[in-house]
Structure 1
Amino acid sequence: MTYVLTENVRYTDLAGEFAPRMNGLQILQRVRRLRQCYVTEAILCDRLAELPQQLAHPTVRPWGAIAWGDVHPDQLIGIDRATFCATLLGTINTEAPIRGYTQSSRQYLAQLYPAMARYVGGQLDESGKLVEVGLWEREEKRHTPALAKLYTLLSGEKPDIVPHAARPYQPAADPHENLYRHGLHRVATEYGATCLYIWMMAHSTGALQAVLAELLIDEINHMTKFWGFGMWAYPDSSLVKIGHTLGQAMVRKLSDRTTQGSLLHTLRRMMHELAWQQWSPSHRLALLYTFDQVIKALWDWNRTLTPAHLDSLFGPPPATAKTP
Structure 2
Amino acid sequence: MHFRSLALTVAFLRAIAFIRRGFWGSTARMQLLWIGTQAMQLFLKGSEDLAGRVQGKATYLGTRARIVRLVDRFLSVDVLSDRLSDLPSQFSSPHQRPWEPIDWKQVNAAQIIGIDPNLFVQIIGSAAEIEAPIRGYAQESWDYLHRFHPQMALFVGGEFSAETGRQSVGIWEKEERQHTPVMRKLYRQLTGQTFQPKPNAVEGYQESNNPSDAVYRHLCSRISTEWSAIAVYLWLMAHSTGELQQAIAQLLQDEVNHLAKFWGFSRWAFGRSSLGQFGVAVGDILALVKHHKGDRTNGQEMLSPRQILSQLPRLLEIGFTFVRVMIRIHAWDKELSYSYLKHLFGSHPMAIAV
Task: Name the structure 2 match of 1:224.
Answer: 260
For residue 199 of structure 1, what is the aligned residue in structure 2? 235
Q: SS in structure 2 opposite 1:7?
A: helix
Distance apart, 1:238 and its partner CA: 5.1
SS of structure 2 residue aligned to 1:10? coil
Contact between 2:52 and 2:66, CA under 8 Å: does it hold in 1?
Answer: yes
Deviation of 1:129 (Å): 1.4
Q: 2:341 aligns with which of 306, 310, 315?
A: 310
Shift of 1:263: 4.0
Cα drift, residue 96 of structure 1 = 0.2
Match of 2:106 in 1: 70
Aligned partners of 2:40 and 2:110 also within 8 Å: yes
In structure 2, the residue matched to 1:259 is none
Of 92, 96, 111, the match for 2:132: 96
Partner of 2:288: 266
149, 153, 177: which one aligns with 1:113: 149
Distance 2:41 2:289 in 1: 37
Gapped runs of 5+ residues in structure 2? 1-35
CA distance in 2, matches of 1:6, 1:89: 24
1:82 aligns with 2:83: no
Matched, 1:295 2:326: yes
Residue pairs, 1:121-200, within 5 angstroms: 121-200=157-236
CA 116–39 in structure 1, closer or farther in 2 if over 3 Å, else same = same
Aligned twin of 2:93: 57
In structure 2, the residue matched to 1:10 is 46
> How far did residue 237 of structure 1 move?
4.0
Q: Answer whether contact 1:119 1:134 (CA < 8 A) is retained.
A: yes
Match in the other structure for 1:281: 312
Q: Is the 8 A contact 1:183 1:226 kept in 2?
A: yes
CA distance in 1, matches of 2:293, 2:207: 28
Q: Secondary structure at the match of 1:291?
A: helix
Match of 2:149, as an amino acid? Y
Q: TM-score, normalised by structure 1?
A: 0.89
Cα offset for 1:36?
Answer: 0.9
Shift in Å, 1:126: 3.1
The CA RMSD over aligned residues, in Å, is 2.2
Q: 1:129 to 1:87 in 2, by over 3 A?
A: same
> What is the one-letter code of the residue matched to 1:264?
L
Q: Distance in 1 between matches of 2:270 and 2:214?
A: 12
* SS of structure 1 residue aligned to 2:68: helix
**1:257 aligns to what?**
none
Q: For the Cα contact (< 8 Å) 1:7–1:19, is it kept in 2?
A: no
Determine what percentage of the aligned residue pairs are the same residue.
37
Distance between the aligned counterparts of 2:349 and 2:197, measured in 1? 42
SS of structure 1 residue aligned to 2:101: coil
Q: Which position in structure 2 is the counterpart of 1:258? A: none
Query: Does residue 31 in structure 1 map to residue 40 in structure 2?
Result: no
Label 1:242 to 1:89 Cα distance change in 2 as closer, same or farther (>3 A).
closer
More helix by share: 2
Kept in 2: contact 1:49–1:313 (CA 8 A): yes
The C-alpha deviation readout for 1:198-247, integer Å capped at 9, x for no partner, is 0000010001000000000000000000000000000134535764x679
Residues 191 and 223, structure 1, Cα contact 8 Å, conserved in 2:
yes
SS of residue in 1 equivalent to 2:40: coil
Give distance in 1, aligned partners of 2:86 and 2:122: 35
Q: Write the distance in 1 (CA, Å) between the matches of 2:200 and 2:277.
A: 29
How many Å separate the matches in 2 of 1:23 and 1:319? 51
Which one has more relative contact order, counting CA pairs under 8 Å at least 6 apart?
A: 1
Distance 2:269 2:203 in 1: 23
Q: Which amino acid aligns with 1:169?
A: Y
Is the 2:223–2:263 Cα contact (8 Å) retained in structure 1?
yes
Q: Secondary structure at the match of 2:263?
A: helix
Cα distance, 1:176–1:120 mapped onto 2, change above 3 Å: same
CA distance in 2, matches of 1:318, 1:97: 29
Task: Give 1:112's aligned amino acid.
Answer: F
* Greater C-alpha Rg: 2
TM-score by length of 2: 0.81
The aligned residue for residue 244 of structure 2 is 208
CA displacement at 1:19 relative to structure 2: 3.2
What CA distance in whole angstroms lies between the structure 1 residues aligned with 2:316 and 2:128?
A: 22
